[in-house]
């Protein structure tokens, strides 16, 4: 992504958090993450997040999704120290369309990003409004997309090791190397 | 506590959460917990909380403290399945005076509830303003008190088993039996 994209989307995300009375320290604002997954199309596929804590046992993040932005399909595989990351998504603001393994839902509210359909394979729909939440157990494929309002989602999980995530789209690189 | 106390303090706590745009489901509002620790003096010693999730691995809660209210000194001992609960407190609103094991701080901002001083033994002060957080590792004595503004605190932790907590005050019963 360009520096301009990064700064624009970071600012937009921090404004969403601020409007919800979610206070970040200056250090957290500095460390705020804008992930384009190496696809260089942030407004369509991406995720913005702040990691509050990530110990050996527990991780907590707040995720920000821009209007209609998609976090691409992935899973959290078995690791050296456990069966894989377990995570609960709790919607705080907006609306999230979450798709997990299981029976394909008909008349789905969201579609994969146009042109990337082949990299989306699970379609069991869970809709999360503010106050609603869903737990993803290890090694389960999932992806999610914000409604046109965007979304803020709290994630409560076991230890986070983003670099171990397995994405369905082989073009994706969760932790892009600095150029 | 009386039903009137319970209803009054529950309402006050839910209002604080609502004023912060923290949305709870109707079920969560129903399940909202008002803990008087069996001391029957809620305005002085107590804690209000909603548990969002508590799996085998991860627990997330939001805690509400009334102005100057104290959560009494306790620790989370070794359990059958781990070394004890690990928890991170993140202040969201107000101000929290947290006391943990270690060098006693001079000129402390808060004092134990009047008359209960003998049940407070750790005085290493950590002050948490909104956006600030602190991690309590297992088996570590701690207690905390809100400033005159009250406080809302997010707690991210390993599995919660409140019934196993060990309180310094032998009169305390974390999970009072229904009368």
A134 touches chain B (CB under 8 A): no
Q: What is the largest CA-CA distance in chain A?
A: 44
Are the beta carbons of A53 and B130 separated by less than 8 Å? no
d(CA B143, CA B163): 17
Q: What are the phi and psi torsion angles at B8 (to 5°)?
A: -65, -45
Residues 6+ apart with CB under 8 A from B170: none
The whole-angstrom separation of Cα B40 and Cα B131 is 32
DSSP state letters, B31-99: H-EEE-TTSS-TTTB-EEEEEEEE-SS-EEEEEEE-TT-EEEEEE----SSSS---EEEEEEEEEEEEE
Angle at A75 (CA atoms; ends A73, A76), nearest 5 degrees: 150
ipTM of the modeled complex: 0.94
Interface check B93 vs A, CB under 8 A: yes
Strand (E) or helix (H) holding B124 = strand B124-128
| Separation between Cα atoms, residue B60 and residue A158, nearest integer Å | 11
Residue A173: predicted pLDDT: 82
Full set of structural domains in chain B with CATH: 52-167 (2.60.120.10)
pLDDT at position A179 over 60:
no
A-B CB pairs within 8 A amount to: 75
Asked if A154 and A92 touch (Cβ cutoff 8 Å), the reply is: yes
Give the Cα separation of A97 and B82 in Å (integer): 35
CA of B88: which chain A residue's CA is closest?
Answer: A53
Q: Confidence band (pLDDT; 50, 70, 90) for A178? A: very low
Beta strands in chain A (DSSP E): 33-35, 47-54, 59-65, 70-75, 87-100, 124-128, 133-136, 142-157, 166-167
pLDDT by position in tens, chain B (length 179): 889 999 999 999 999 999 999 999 999 999 999 999 999 999 999 999 999 999 999 999 999 999 999 999 999 999 999 999 999 999 999 999 999 999 999 999 999 999 999 999 999 999 999 999 999 999 999 999 999 999 999 999 999 999 999 999 999 987 765 44
pLDDT at position B178 is 46
Proportion of chain A above pLDDT 90, given as a percent: 95
* Torsion angle in degrees (nearest 10) through CA of B60, B64, B65, B70: -30
Residue B177: its pLDDT value, please? 54
* Residue-level pLDDT at B1: 83
Q: Look up residue A139 and give its two tokens.
A: 């090694």
pLDDT the model gives residue B35: 96
Supply B33's token pair. Answer: 């917990």
- The pTM score is 0.95
- A23 pLDDT band (50/70/90 cuts)? very high
Buried b (16+ CB within 10 A) or exposed e, A137-153: ebebbbbbbbbeebbbb
Distance from CA of B58 to the nearest CA of A (A): 6
CA atoms within 13 A on the CB side of A160: 16
Contact B92 A52 (CB under 8 A): no
A103-150 pLDDT tens trace? 999 999 999 999 999 999 999 999 999 999 999 999 999 999 999 999
pLDDT value for A1: 83
| Shortest Cα distance, chain A CAs vs residue B77, angstroms | 16
C-alpha distances out from residue B177 to B36, B43, B163, Å = 12, 20, 11
| CA–CA separation, A124 and A102 (whole Å) | 5
Q: Which residues, at least 6 apart from B148, have a Cβ–Cβ distance to it below 8 Å?
A: B67, B68
Contact of B149 with B127, CB cutoff 8 Å: no
State what percent of residues in chain A have pLDDT above 70.
98
Angle at B88 between CA B150 and CA A154, to 5 degrees: 85
Rounded to an integer, what distance in angstroms lies between the CA atom of residue B91 and that of residue B97? 10
Per residue in B84-124, pLDDT (tens digit) is: 999 999 999 999 999 999 999 999 999 999 999 999 999 99
Q: Are B45 and B70 in contact (CB under 8 A)?
A: yes
């Amino acid at each position: 992504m360009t520096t301009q994209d990064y700064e624009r989307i970071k600012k937009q995300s921090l404004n969403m958090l601020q409007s919800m009375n979610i206070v970040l320290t200056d250090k957290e604002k500095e460390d705020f993450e804008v992930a384009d997954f190496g696809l260089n199309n942030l407004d369509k596929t991406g995720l913005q997040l702040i990691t509050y804590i990530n110990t050996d046992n527990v991780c907590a993040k707040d995720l920000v999704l821009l209007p209609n932005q998609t976090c691409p399909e992935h899973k959290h595989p078995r690791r050296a120290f456990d069966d894989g990351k377990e995570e609960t998504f709790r919607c705080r603001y907006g609306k999230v369309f979450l798709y997990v393994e299981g029976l394909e839902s008909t008349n789905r509210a969201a579609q994969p990003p146009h042109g990337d359909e082949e990299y989306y394979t699970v379609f069991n729909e869970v809709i999360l409004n503010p106050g609603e939440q869903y737990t993803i157990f290890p090694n389960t494929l999932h992806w999610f997309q914000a409604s046109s309002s965007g979304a803020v989602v709290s994630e409560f999980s076991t230890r986070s090791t983003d670099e171990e995530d397995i994405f369905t789209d082989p073009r994706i690189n969760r932790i892009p190397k600095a150029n």
